[in-house]
Structure 1
Amino acid sequence: MLYHAFEMQKSWLAGASALATAGAQVMQHPANPLGYFGGSPMFASALEVFAHAAAPRGKPGFDLYETTVEGETVRVTEVVEARKPFGQLKHFKHKGTKDAPKLLIVAPMSGHYATLLRGTVERMLPGHDVWITDWRDARNAPLSAGKFDLDDYVDYLISWLEHIGPGAHMLAVCQPSVPSLAAAAVMAANKHKCRPKTLTMMGGPIDTRKAPTAVNEHAMTRPHAWFQENVIVTVPAWYPGAGRRVYPGFLQLAGFMSMNLGNHMMSHWEMFKHLVDGDGESADKTKEFYDEYRSVCDMTAEFYLQTVDVVFQRHLLPKGEMLHRGQLVDIGAIEDIAILAIEGERDDISGIGQTKAALTLAKALPAEKKKYLMAKAVGHYGIFNGRKWREEIAPVVEQWIRSNGG
């Protein structure tokens, strides 16, 4: 019923958004005499803000068509290199990648599409051969595709590292820090030739017992059965994944937005003022962010519930008790995969110390192959997007890759 109610609301808002867009265009048309009255720009701007907030959203594109390599603008071609039922491996090819370090960016499976990392990809393109995990919206995966859980996630990463070949580097953004570290440990224990040379983890919940955030408290204060009974729904009949049990992306989005409701309301207020003042460029920046932020996808119920259990409730990885296909995930087996842990000082999703914990767990890794960066005055999303990512954080990642076989 929850999914059906959401779909009904989305359908109604889509119609209201279309009407509001049409109304704003009429009010702003030069031939409309009403548009020259004092309150008209304000009314048109209000309609435009509402239309944008209520508009339905699908999966965005990366839309990265060129980059600059050594002062030369080169064409970027986005290619799907490998497909699996619940995700695909995308490769951003350009002529400067021949001798560049191979970099696998692991996107979160946490309610948003991989395009949330567009800024991450764009910044790393000039100096790297960039690949990214592009996860599938679970509501579009038919039941015949089978299940997808945390074990499958680790398997996918290992398979894609094999596809890329030896000598790759891995950059995990937020949620996938746990399966990425697990994959690195499994590959290290098996002396896999395609294990990554470096693993950079940014804002990841390696050990959520350290500086617990509201997200962590939410998971810890409820029994596991509560999540199964209250946030898992069945995909409706009109989607390819009809009948699949999922954790819907719209619930994840609602949770994140409620954490910073004041900030989101202020952002829309600022967008309204920019539109009234005729500052379309500033308003467009806000629109671009929310177009991406509000584009959400579902996760399989088994992946979501296992993540809540293993990562946020029982903390099996930092305790040394996590299993992958019956094999103990031993972070101590990592001896030559250089680890860089990055945290944001103002991160309200992954608290300070949660990602850094990986450095302590990697007991066999020499000190020179461990590095920690605290990004000052940076929140969760600022770790991988925006000015501070481009100017302060990315250069540290690049240097780490270069100094460890890149």
Structure 2
Amino acid sequence: MLYNAYELQRTMLSGAAAWASVGAELLTNPSMPFSHFGFGPVMASALDVFAHATMTRGKPEFDIQSVTVDGKTYPVTEAIVMHRPYGNLLRFDHPGLPKNAPKLLVVAPMSGHFATLLRGTVARMVETCEVYITDWADAKMVPQSAGRFDLDDYIDYLIAFLEHIGPGTHMLAVCQPSVPAFAATAIMGKQENPCRPATLTVMGGPIDTREAPTSVNDVAMNQPLAWFEQNVVTTVPLTYPGGGRKVYPGFLQLAGFMAMNLGNHMMSHYGMFKHLVEGDDESAAATKAFYDEYRAVCDMTAEYYLQTVEHVFQKHSLPNGEFVHRGERIDLGAIRDTAILAVEGERDDISGLGQTKAALHLAANLPEDRKKYLLAEGVGHYGIFNGSKWRGRIAPVVEAWIRQHQKKPLKAVA
């Protein structure tokens, strides 16, 4: 019923958004007399903000057309190099990359947003690396015949992607996937898999949520697992390919994040309204671009979501040494040669300080010269992987870490 009610509301608001958009265009049309008076631009701006806030959004495109390196501009090529039911492996490169350029797998979150949320991450790293990214599917669009998808499957996908890219690959996990990426690294280390990552960079990830708990952690801890199953898990309507599948819908995830900072979001839209009234289209466009991405959401399977809540936020299975993959306990001590860089934002309100850094001491058998910690001062969660601070202060550290450990492909541990 919850999903069906949302679909009904979405349909109604889509119609209202369309009419609001038409009204805004009419009120700003130079041939219309009221477009030259104060009332017209104010009403047009209000309708434009309403239309933008209520419009339906599909999956965005990466749309990374080119990259400029050392004053030269090169076209960027995007390609699907591996297809799986619950996510494709995309590759980005350009003709200016040297033949021995590092290969980097960017692990995007499966947390209600599409992988395009990391567009800025890819655009910056493709300057010096051959970049691959996990392009996770919207669970409601995956046919029921594809079966289930849980944490075990997520880890298996990462291992398969690394094996496809080949030995010597570097891996960068942003936010939530830090846990399965860390686990996959340990599994491959224990198996002496030659395709285990040369480096693992974890950024703003909930490795150990007992460190500086945030409001996100509090929500997960204050309710039993059954509460999440009963209140936020719902069934996909039969109008979608995945009809009948149990999911944690993206619209609920978005509502939760919007509610956390409702005042800031309201002020952002008020600011956009003022920019439109003043004719500052460039500033208004920047706000619109952010929310176009932020409001583009997708569903995740119920089994994956509930296992993440249980093992990452409630039982702390990974730091407690109790995380299991395919029936076998994951030994973090098996990480012996994959260099680890942990990045945290000083103002991160999603993953508190120390949660990501925990990866460094949990990898007890990794030499200290293969561990590094970066605290990005004045940076929030989103700024860790997007924006000017990411491009100018954080990405260079990641690139230097990759170069430092860009050696021959890893061999089996003796």
TM-score (norm 1): 0.99
Runs (4+) of structure 1 exceeding 3 A deviation are: none
What is the rounded CA distance, in whole Å, between the counterparts of 1:322 and 1:157 in structure 2? 17
Tell me, yes or no, if the aligned pair for 1:79 and 1:93 is still in contact at 8 Å.
no
What is the rounded CA distance, in whole Å, between the counterparts of 1:316 and 1:136 in structure 2? 26
Instruction: Note if 1:138 corresponds to 2:139.
Output: yes
What is the rounded CA distance, in whole Å, between the counterparts of 1:93 and 1:120 in structure 2? 14
Which residue does 2:90 correspond to in 1? 90
Tell me, yes or no, if the aligned pair for 2:112 and 2:298 is still in contact at 8 Å.
yes
3-state SS, counterpart of residue 151 of structure 1: helix
Which residue does 2:2 correspond to in 1? 2
Tell me, yes or no, if the aligned pair for 1:140 and 1:241 is still in contact at 8 Å.
yes
The AA in structure 2 aligned to 1:266 is M
Which residue does 1:342 correspond to in 2? 343
Deviations 1:222-263 (A, max 9, x none): 111111111111100100000000000000000001000011
Which residue does 1:303 correspond to in 2? 304
Deviations 1:245-282 (A, max 9, x none): 00000000000010000110010011111111111011
Which residue does 2:410 correspond to in 1? none
Which residue does 1:319 correspond to in 2? 320
What is the rounded CA distance, in whole Å, between the counterparts of 2:203 and 2:126 in structure 1? 18
Instruction: Note if 1:72 corresponds to 2:72.
Output: yes
Which residue does 1:391 correspond to in 2? 392
Which residue does 1:159 correspond to in 2? 160
Which residue does 2:62 correspond to in 1? 62
The AA in structure 1 aligned to 2:28 is Q
What is the rounded CA distance, in whole Å, between the counterparts of 1:389 and 1:278 in structure 2? 30
Deviations 1:348-389 (A, max 9, x none): 111110000000101111111101111111111111011111
How far the C-alpha of 1:71 sits from its partner, in A, is: 2.6
Instruction: Note if 1:37 corresponds to 2:33.
Output: no
Which residue does 1:125 correspond to in 2? 126
How far the C-alpha of 1:69 sits from its partner, in A, is: 3.2
Which residue does 2:412 correspond to in 1? none
Which blocks of at least 5 consecutive residues in structure 1 are unaligned? Answer: none
Which residue does 2:20 correspond to in 1? 20
What is the rounded CA distance, in whole Å, between the counterparts of 1:38 and 1:166 in structure 2? 63
Tell me, yes or no, if the aligned pair for 2:344 and 2:374 is still in contact at 8 Å.
yes
Deviations 1:54-84 (A, max 9, x none): 1100000000111123332111111000011
Q: Between 166-175 and 328-337, report the one with greater CA deviation.
A: 328-337
The AA in structure 2 aligned to 1:29 is N
Equivalence map 1:258-269=2 (5 Å):
258-269=259-270
Deviations 1:255-311 (A, max 9, x none): 001000011001001111111111101100000000000000000000000111110
How far the C-alpha of 1:99 sits from its partner, in A, is: 2.0
Aligned length: 406
What is the rounded CA distance, in whole Å, between the counterparts of 2:20 and 2:185 in structure 1? 50
What is the rounded CA distance, in whole Å, between the counterparts of 1:322 and 1:289 in structure 2? 36
Tell me, yes or no, if the aligned pair for 2:167 and 2:194 is still in contact at 8 Å.
yes
What is the rounded CA distance, in whole Å, between the counterparts of 1:71 and 1:35 in structure 2? 44
The AA in structure 1 aligned to 2:31 is A
Tell me, yes or no, if the aligned pair for 2:209 and 2:355 is still in contact at 8 Å.
yes
3-state SS, counterpart of residue 67 of structure 1: strand
Tell me, yes or no, if the aligned pair for 2:93 and 2:129 is still in contact at 8 Å.
no
Equivalence map 1:193-204=2 (5 Å):
193-204=194-205
Which residue does 2:52 correspond to in 1? 52
Tell me, yes or no, if the aligned pair for 1:115 and 1:292 is still in contact at 8 Å.
yes
What is the rounded CA distance, in whole Å, between the counterparts of 1:35 and 1:134 in structure 2? 44
Tell me, yes or no, if the aligned pair for 1:143 and 1:244 is still in contact at 8 Å.
yes
Which residue does 1:352 correspond to in 2? 353
What is the rounded CA distance, in whole Å, between the counterparts of 2:214 and 2:351 in structure 1? 7
Which residue does 2:411 correspond to in 1? none
The AA in structure 2 aligned to 1:316 is S
3-state SS, counterpart of residue 319 of structure 2: helix
Q: Between 94-103 and 241-250, report the one with greater CA deviation.
A: 94-103
Which residue does 1:100 correspond to in 2? 101
The AA in structure 2 aligned to 1:72 is K
The AA in structure 1 aligned to 2:72 is E
What is the rounded CA distance, in whole Å, between the counterparts of 1:328 and 1:197 in structure 2? 23
How far the C-alpha of 1:125 sits from its partner, in A, is: 1.0
The AA in structure 1 aligned to 2:371 is K
How far the C-alpha of 1:96 sits from its partner, in A, is: 2.7
Tell me, yes or no, if the aligned pair for 2:209 and 2:312 is still in contact at 8 Å.
yes
What is the rounded CA distance, in whole Å, between the counterparts of 1:387 and 1:102 in structure 2? 23
3-state SS, counterpart of residue 16 of structure 2: helix
3-state SS, counterpart of residue 171 of structure 2: strand
Identity %: 66
Deviations 1:337-357 (A, max 9, x none): 000001111111111100000
Tell me, yes or no, if the aligned pair for 1:10 and 1:56 is still in contact at 8 Å.
yes
Which blocks of at least 5 consecutive residues in structure 2 are unaligned? Answer: 408-414
What is the rounded CA distance, in whole Å, between the counterparts of 2:334 and 2:123 in structure 1? 33
